[in-house]
Amino acid sequence: MTRFLLAGGGTGGHVNPLLALGELLRDRKHEVIALGTKEGLESRLVPNRGFELVTIPRLPLPRRLSFGSFTYPFRLMLASAQVVKVIRTRKIDCVVGFGGYASAPAYLAAWFTRTTLVVHEANALAGFANKLGARLTKFVAVTFPNSNLEGARVTGMPIRGEIVASVSAYDQQQARIELGLDPMLPTLLVTGGSLGAKSINDSIAESLGKLNAAGIQVLHIVGDRANLEDISQAGYSRMAYCKAMDVAISASDFAVSRAGASTVSEFAATGLPALYIPYPVGNGEQRLNAASIVEAGGGLIIPDAEFNADYVSSNLIPLISNKKGLISMSKAAKSEAIIDATERLAEFVLEAMDTRARD
């Protein structure tokens, strides 16, 4: 039995592909252990999927000169030593990292122990951890062809296979009924990703009257940290977190969302057209994540500062009301999807192990 250590976490973009690959490897009778932190999204999602989670201290990279800047290398080495112990005591055969706080120590530990290392980068622009990992291994996979990690294998974004299969098989009206929505009304899905999005939430809340008047109902996933007043209005359903995204996607005709790699990939694979509003903080990776979908005609993209109630009434409502246009956008989104990304990444991982065994 091959033993894998899958490292990553923090947000859904790091956790979701970890879980997708982990489930596929487990189905193939391999042993899978996850590495993360107690603070990240993985602390809840990984155990819920039946995986063992080993935690190490959260190590955010200091963004400015401070005492933490001087202590960071030492804390990184201590965390890496913890992972070395895990690799040796659990007899790990391969480390696969997905970025996030737990990944940099895992990459250093894999390099130190000469354990096969595979890096998967979800976003079009890699962060610190995966840039480091890409220097320590030649086995690097990416989601998007426009990645800044040159020479990497394009495998796509691993997503749970049941999402695509379920959406394909689901009856849209039945999905709406299950979510407490009107089965006959066009439905707008609004989500800010695993962290939520206050600016999107506020603009949608302000637009509910006009959306309702246009006969459009809203399924609003506000995020765990949202601080919104209670809203009681016909055609509006709100939840902090959606445990059944396949049902939510099946029920919807269009989405408004951030452009995280998981979200973009899931919407493309299921043919859900969307308006992407990239997270305004960061290095601009979300804009690039959605670029190919938008260029193909499967979505739109605007800056966060330009999304407001006026945009909803003048642009979004006419778009959602155009059924033929939505069908065309759905086909375009699907044309850019890599539906078998999880299988591609799994084969790449096994290929890496075979190559290392022959070296």
Q: Are 286 and 276 in contact (CB under 8 A)?
A: yes
Q: Are 7 and 97 in contact (CB under 8 A)?
A: yes
DSSP 224: T
Q: Are 314 and 180 in contact (CB under 8 A)?
A: no
Class for the domain spanning 3-157+339-354: alpha beta
Q: Distance (Å, rounded) from C-alpha 170 to C-alpha 159?
A: 18
Would you list the DSSP string of 107-128?
Answer: HHHHHHHT-EEEEEE-SSS--H
Tokens linked to 119: 């890096």
Choose among 31, 23, 126: nearest CA to 343.
Answer: 23
C-alpha triplet 287, 289, 293: angle, nearest 5°: 100
Q: Distance (Å, rounded) from C-alpha 287 to C-alpha 81?
A: 36
Distances (CA, A) of 226 to 15, 100, 143, 191, 208: 21, 23, 29, 11, 17
Q: Do domains 3-157+339-354 and 161-335 have the same CATH topology?
A: yes
May I ask the CATH architecture of the domain 161-335?
A: 3-Layer(aba) Sandwich (3.40)
Residue 37: other Cβ atoms inside 10 A: 20
pLDDT in tens, the chain (359 residues): 899 999 998 887 889 999 999 999 999 999 999 999 999 889 999 999 999 999 999 877 666 666 556 688 889 999 999 999 999 999 999 999 999 989 999 999 999 999 999 999 999 999 999 999 999 999 999 999 999 998 999 999 998 877 888 898 899 999 999 999 999 999 999 998 655 588 898 899 999 999 999 999 999 998 766 566 667 788 899 888 888 899 999 999 999 999 999 999 999 999 999 999 999 887 789 999 999 999 999 999 999 999 999 999 999 999 999 999 999 999 999 999 999 999 999 999 999 999 877 76
Domain boundaries, the chain: 3-157+339-354, 161-335
Sequence-distant (6+) residues with CB within 8 A of 227 are 198
Sequence-distant (6+) residues with CB within 8 A of 324 are none
Torsion sign across C-alpha atoms 289, 295, 298, 302: positive
